Structure 1
Amino acid sequence: MRELNKVIAACPPSGIRRFFDIAAEMDDVISLGVGEPDFVTPWRVREAGIYALEQGYTTYTSNAGLPQLRELICADLAKRYGADYDPGGECLITTGVSEGLDLALRVLLNPGDEVIVPEPCYVAYEPCVAFAGGTPVRVPTRWEDGFAVDAEVVAAAITPRTKAILIGSPANPTGAVQPRAALEALVRLAEEHDLYLVSDEIYDRLTYTGGHTCLGTLPGARERTVLLGGFSKAHAMTGWRVGWICAPAAVAELAVRVHQYTMLCAPHISQLAAVEALSAPDDEVDAMVADYDRRRRVFVKGLRETGLDCPEPGGAFYAFPSIRSSGMDSETFAERLLHAEHVAVVPGSVFGPSGEGHVRCSYATALPLLEEALVRIDRFLRSSAAG
């Protein structure tokens, strides 16, 4: 048979999924791996979806998405962060943030363009750059610095082929929230070298130690920034597949063009559920965030008590403890912990070279399970030290 697509063939399977395929074959596993809320979608949002189905809203919407939803998204960004986007020409509803990322990169990149990706980072960033014809260029961040992106390190990686910088804050896998000063330095760098900024802000509502900085609102950023967001995390709507892009009109127009030939539109029912999510008070979101914060404090404290040094995550729902004291690399640690104590975590190495020496633990898990996981991790560390 003739050769298949080389770029896709060269892309390894997700390093996250491998461990959970193993865990699925085992009993009594506590999973701290999948980045998904353990809450169900709030009832009023589910009810809106049920009502939409009952009323027959099973058709396509416009390619860009329901005007009402786009208006609500832009109004919400304006209220929270002072952002100014036109719902008619600068906002697109996508099938989750994953599609939004794919669209943004396809629109921005020509073959061979380079995208700077600070790492550790979400596992999809580099493959999506490659699938869009670009070349991902890793730049390291350090846990000693709270995984803040250093503009000087980024500047050293810029070449004549650099087209964009791709960043997520709050971050998966580290839980790091980029300081405003670090983001401002990136904007100045982007202005100096005429670069685009792609900002994945899906965890914007999940911050605990300070407010979220919306990248598109910083001076000089708006005209070169593509904002990505959605409903999966804060509203516990992962399976509904609703995200959004807000970007300058020229970028948004081309994103709609790709979207209309591939996805066509996000699900009608899901968009109406998202309308309800943004139309009602934030009480349920606030309650979920408060619960995550409680789990975060308990879990990080517990990890430190086991002897694992754990930076305090400022956002999202991930802890990223150092496991260097165990003497194991991250993949060995995760594999042995899974087999010995039936606790599933993700090796930090799958998120980039800077992730080696760490594992990602999601605390979007019920508190009693987190507490039991801490008991098992402590027992595993003691056993490993003794053995």
Structure 2
Amino acid sequence: MSEQRGYKVAFDPSNIVLTAGATSANEALMFCLADHGDAFLIPTPYYPGFDRDLKWRTGAEIVPVHCTSANGFRVTRAALDDAYRRAQKRRLRVKGVLITNPSNPLGTTAPRADLEMIVEFVAARGIHLVSDEIYSGTAFGEPGFVSVLEVMAERGAAAADVSDRVHVVYSLSKDLGLPGFRVGAIYSSNAAVVSAATKMSSFGLISSQTQYLLAAMLGDKDFTRSYVAENKRRIKERHDQLVDGLREIGISCLESNAGLFCWVDMSHLMRSRSFAGEMELWKKVVFEVGLNISPGSSCHCREPGWFRVCFANMSAKTLDVAMQRLRSFVESTTNGAAALRRAAVPARSISCPIAIKWALRLTPSSGDRKAER
């Protein structure tokens, strides 16, 4: 954890609770911090699985913090205040804010100023902040990843009023490609949270075999540094391939620098600018084109036409086939053909800001199987 944060944060081992993955860590924190019916504020668009992971067994509620493409889906104080007021109108007791940094599905790192603003917000409201940093080792571009714990360290004495209400979730699933090993962690300076989460971890332990293997793996610092660096290089390579391929067919993306996803704007391909139009397009892409992408509505995005595309689970050759299929589909639509013509002219890159929540997969059609071998 220290290595992925550039050794800018010192971790006290007594404040760490190991869990069976980040899912278990997030759920445990909900049990620790919220009673049945209490709420957490989560900026949108957010990982669709949170609706399951945070709510199903805990009884907690999620109140979306609505972010927009106007500022690249960044969190604002006004949006946080609005979500807090909406929760109060529903007579929900807000217990905290949960952020994912880097973001799934946006593929962006939270700017330092935004993290400082969020910390100020939770301090003023007397609530908790959970920072899910499962993608911290995937940042491949500028600005780099900044942990909320780094922001807390810079606050110095001023952090005392909120230090026991800031909690970090981490996992080896993304940074080391070990999702099946189920290794996660909670880091908290709150003794009561650490105590309760430690007791709850009995229901989701990391096996002794896994711990033994990982102790040897993580003890080899040269290997882990080399692995993470190579992983970032490959992620960036595949990211650039996807973004360039989409640009060539007139499809733009939110500018991203981390994670395994691109947030893609396909609104111009919809027959109607509505969520019904979004789902109609999604079904065509899934069942006719053979690409499994995630509609933005599943991530609680309020703007129809955004889709999450995972680019990290396929070879360059397979991604080329995906782009070929998508190009054929775009050419078959009136709006898409016009966008293709515009794409032939050099255009500016947009920085404004894509549920079936699962990653982009290819369903080979008979005509593509030879090309994909």
Task: Compute the TM-score of the two structures, normalised by the length of structure 2.
Answer: 0.79
Which residue does the alignment assign to 1:36?
none
Pick from 310, 314, 318 the counterpart of residue 369 of structure 1: 318
Pick from 157, 167, 172 the counterpart of residue 83 of structure 2: 157
Given residue 22 of structure 2, which amino acid in structure 1 is its aligned partner? V
The Cα shift of 1:381 comes to: 1.0
Greater CA drift, 362-371 or 335-344: 335-344
Indicate the SS of the match to 1:167.
Answer: strand
Which residue does the alignment assign to 2:168?
227
Contact 1:141 1:147 in 2 (8 A): yes
The Cα shift of 1:177 comes to: 1.4
Structure 1 residues 190 and 250, CA, compared in 2 at 3 Å: closer, same or farther? Answer: same
Contact 1:111 1:133 in 2 (8 A): yes
Indicate the SS of the match to 2:286.
Answer: helix
Which residue does the alignment assign to 2:266?
323
The Cα shift of 1:319 comes to: 0.8
Task: Compute the TM-score of the two structures, normalised by the length of structure 1.
Answer: 0.76
Q: Distance in 2 between matches of 1:153 and 1:128?
A: 24
Q: Distance in 1 between matches of 2:18 and 2:49?
A: 20
The Cα shift of 1:325 comes to: 0.5
Which residue does the alignment assign to 1:192?
124
Given residue 106 of structure 2, which amino acid in structure 1 is its aligned partner? T
Pick from 51, 55, 67 the counterpart of residue 141 of structure 1: 67
Given residue 65 of structure 2, which amino acid in structure 1 is its aligned partner? V
Structure 1 residues 170 and 349, CA, compared in 2 at 3 Å: closer, same or farther? Answer: same
1:205 aligns with 2:133: no
Indicate the SS of the match to 2:64.
Answer: strand
The Cα shift of 1:111 comes to: 2.3
Indicate the SS of the match to 1:232.
Answer: coil
Structure 1 residues 139 and 204, CA, compared in 2 at 3 Å: closer, same or farther? Answer: same
Count of residue pairs brought into register by the alignment: 310
Indicate the SS of the match to 1:84.
Answer: coil
Indicate the SS of the match to 1:321.
Answer: strand
The Cα shift of 1:339 comes to: 2.1
Q: Distance in 2 between matches of 1:244 and 1:366?
A: 30
Please give the residue correspondences for 1:53-92 in structure 2 after superposition, counting only pairs within 5 Å: 73=1, 75-76=2-3, 80-88=6-14, 90-92=15-17
Contact 2:38 2:95 in 1 (8 A): yes
Q: CA RMSD, aligned part only? A: 1.9
1:254 aligns with 2:196: yes
Larger RCO (CA within 8 A; separation ≥ 6): 1
Q: Distance in 2 between matches of 1:199 and 1:354?
A: 23
Given residue 183 of structure 2, which amino acid in structure 1 is its aligned partner? V
Which residue does the alignment assign to 2:356?
none
Which residue does the alignment assign to 1:104?
29
Contact 1:242 1:274 in 2 (8 A): no
Please give the residue correspondences for 1:1-387 in structure 2 after superposition, counting only pairs within 5 Å: 73=1, 75-76=2-3, 80-88=6-14, 90-131=15-56, 132-159=58-85, 161-207=93-139, 208-218=141-151, 219=155, 220=159, 222-248=163-189, 249-260=191-202, 262-263=203-204, 265-280=205-220, 281=222, 282-328=225-271, 329-354=277-302, 356-364=304-312, 365-385=314-334
Q: Per-residue CA shift, 1:89-132, capped at 9, x if unaligned? A: x1011101110111011100012222101111011223333232
Given residue 142 of structure 2, which amino acid in structure 1 is its aligned partner? T
Q: Identity of counterpart residues, as a percentage?
A: 24
Indicate the SS of the match to 1:296.
Answer: helix
Q: Distance in 2 between matches of 1:338 and 1:137?
A: 29
Q: Distance in 2 between matches of 1:206 and 1:216?
A: 18
**Where in structure 2 are there 5+ consecutive unaligned residues?**
272-276, 338-373
Q: Distance in 2 between matches of 1:223 and 1:95?
A: 23
Indicate the SS of the match to 2:113.
Answer: helix
Structure 1 residues 81 and 330, CA, compared in 2 at 3 Å: closer, same or farther? Answer: farther
Indicate the SS of the match to 1:130.
Answer: coil
Q: Per-residue CA shift, 1:251-278, capped at 9, x if unaligned? A: 1111111222x22x21122222332342
Q: Distance in 1 between matches of 2:252 and 2:299?
A: 19
Greater CA drift, 131-140 or 213-222: 213-222
Q: Distance in 2 between matches of 1:294 and 1:324?
A: 26
